[in-house]
Chains A and B, each alone.
Chain A
């Protein structure tokens, strides 16, 4: 999982947990706060009532003729009421707040009641101010909904902001990985340009990767120069020898014995030349010294190889068959290497196939790949040995067949360099060489 997504999920989970806590504790908390607020408002109302009594006298609430009747008032929806009556005794302690049911117009309603005993003109009166609990609960519900709405909005907004900020913070990291590692297929492609960042850790990472890439690049360049020098030193004397041999070979007065010896020398020189070329080719492929800017028409390559090899196979009593070749052009590759790789596969098949055997060659296009398959009857190579060849640990020197042993190694190395999958399997006396060319989406 990407660090960016991890940060985002972590933030979201943290805030989500907070929201969950609120959802669980919110009703109790809100209820407590609203009751506290209601109580405060009820106490304030007591002051207002006292001010009215002081201004208008108790008579404006309780008639002198019938003082036992008291005063009661409530609003139209019965949400609030005020009761003032002569105290019948010590029913309440001063400043009592409680919840109690009251019957108003034959309707029983629960109220939050503030009750107090007040003294006016030597008389003790009971003052009750109440607010219906349903009103309080309604307020609670509204507040709760508003709070949840705000919190969810906050959560969404914070997710969006987190995403933006994280993206911005992580941008230099992504740029470092993309420009300095992911897009660098060969060390030569690396250009040392520092990535701007205000995050110290990313600056350090950028520097560390740049240093590492420069070391790899330097080592590659040194190897390239070495290969170039080695190539010159090895190939020049071979050139001289070859030219001298050719010059003697052109002499028409050579005796058969001399001609035979010359051919032997030529043969040995050819082997030496091939080995040097193969070793240099392997080094160059390893050192990525081939351009990959060409397109290879695999159908043309396969049909060309078939034309070249069908007679050679036929001469050895082998049937070389084409089993369907779909058209496909492999882009951004090295044409010569691509052709060499498949040709080595085919030449190996011709060499190792059983007498009067059969070789089939096919090219099939799938959605995500193009497969070139060379299948032949014949003994395969042990899987363990193949692995060693693939990893460059051994060369398959076959003395009986006078083989240099570089062919397979070259095939594997080219496949890796060109980004082509290569599988060699041997089952029931049949060998399959499968080249898998990826097709970019």
Chain B
């Protein structure tokens, strides 16, 4: 996919850009509203990741350019601003999602994938893993046609690990995906262990779950 990244904080732009490139995307990173407008008018993008606080204006204004020149492009607003109005205005102006800084790059990836799945018309998206069928668009896990009951949190966790398979995910990243900023609890990373243990227990009753690895001292990794 070709992605336009509009971010004036160069260090952050580089990290996001490097990450997206490592995921095999083509990234055009610009640091101002003017440059972003020019790129939007000339190139064709699948995604625009837009920071709101740009040196030459409000990133929200770029949403008009996106709707004019890039009708099929999806937009995620990335911002450190906290005002509720920005979020509402952003989503009302056509943004597909809103991600508050600081965010995990894996969270960004998960959000992008969710938008792609949603825009592709909710087509059936099932991943086969060691005999298990894990549905990405509905909270459904099955083994040889038999439905396995997971809690909402367990399913979200499994889905996130699937999106980021073959990558070590630490407990903080997993906790952030599950709870966001909602829970002020230093223990929440330990709660991840409980959820993973339950996933293993529930799925283990049907088949082997060795594809869900514990990486000692770090976190978990889903091999697929």
Contact = CB atoms under 8 A, between A and B. Distances in A.
Interface string A62-73: 000000000000
Given A236-B101, A259-B217, A266-B170, A347 B183 contact: yes
**Most interface-central of B9, B16, B18, B218 (chain A CB within 10 A):** B218
Contacts of B183: 340, 343-344, 347
Contacts of B194: 311-312, 315
A273 B102 CA distance: 8
Interface in A228-275: 228, 231-232, 234-236, 238-244, 246-247, 249-250, 256, 259-260, 263, 266-267, 270-271, 273-274
A247 B151 contact: no
Interface in B139-165: 151-153
Contact of A243 (B12, B83, B186): B12
B184 A344 contact: yes
A232 B101 CA distance: 8
Given A236-B101, A315-B194, A344-B185, 9 more contacts: A228-B83, A239-B103, A240-B12, A243-B12, A246-B104, A273-B102, A280-B82, A308-B151, A311-B151
Nearest to B169: A249
Interface stretch (A80-88, A207-215, A359-367, A399-407): A399-407
Contacts of A232: 53, 80-81
Interface stretch (A52-60, A107-115, A129-137, A284-292): A284-292
A259 B170 CA distance: 11
Given A240-B15, A242-B104, A271-B186, A311 B195 contact: yes
A402 B168 CA distance: 25
Contacts of B81: 228, 231-232
Contacts of B53: 232
Given A243-B12, A274-B184, A228 B105 contact: no
Contacts of A240: 9, 11-12, 15
A171 B186 CA distance: 55
A349 B80 CA distance: 32
Interface of B: 9, 11-12, 15-16, 18-19, 22, 53, 80-84, 88, 100-106, 151-153, 167-168, 170, 172-173, 181-187, 189, 191, 194-195, 197-198, 217-218
Contacts of B198: 311
A227 interface: yes
A271 to B, nearest CB: 7
Contact of A410 (B80, B172, B184): B184
Given A238-B101, A249-B168, A315-B197, A406 B184 contact: yes
Given A244-B15, A266-B172, A239 B217 contact: no
B83 A259 contact: no
Nearest to B79: A232
A289 B84 contact: yes
Contacts of A174: none
Contacts of B104: 242, 246
A68 to B, nearest CB: 118
A281 interface: yes
Contacts of A141: none
Interface residues of A, number: 57
B166 to A, nearest CB: 10
Given A266-B172, A307-B151, A344-B183, A236 B9 contact: yes
A234 B101 CA distance: 10
A236 B12 contact: yes
A227 B86 CA distance: 14
Contacts of A250: 22, 167-168
A157 B201 CA distance: 84
A311 B83 CA distance: 35
A410 B183 CA distance: 10
Contact of A336 (B9, B18, B182, B189): B182
Contact of A246 (B19, B152, B187): B19
A197 B36 CA distance: 55
A249 B170 contact: yes
A243 B19 CA distance: 9
Contacts of B173: 246
29 contacts: A224-B83, A228-B83, A231-B80, A232-B81, A234-B80, A235-B101, A236-B101, A238-B101, A238-B102, A239-B101, A239-B103, A242-B102, A244-B15, A246-B19, A246-B106, A246-B173, A247-B15, A274-B186, A290-B84, A304-B152, A311-B151, A311-B198, A340-B183, A344-B184, A347-B185, A351-B187, A403-B186, A404-B186, A410-B184
Interface in A334-359: 336, 339-340, 343-344, 347, 351
A179 to B, nearest CB: 24
A195 interface: no
B138 to A, nearest CB: 18
Contacts of B18: 247
A250 B81 CA distance: 28
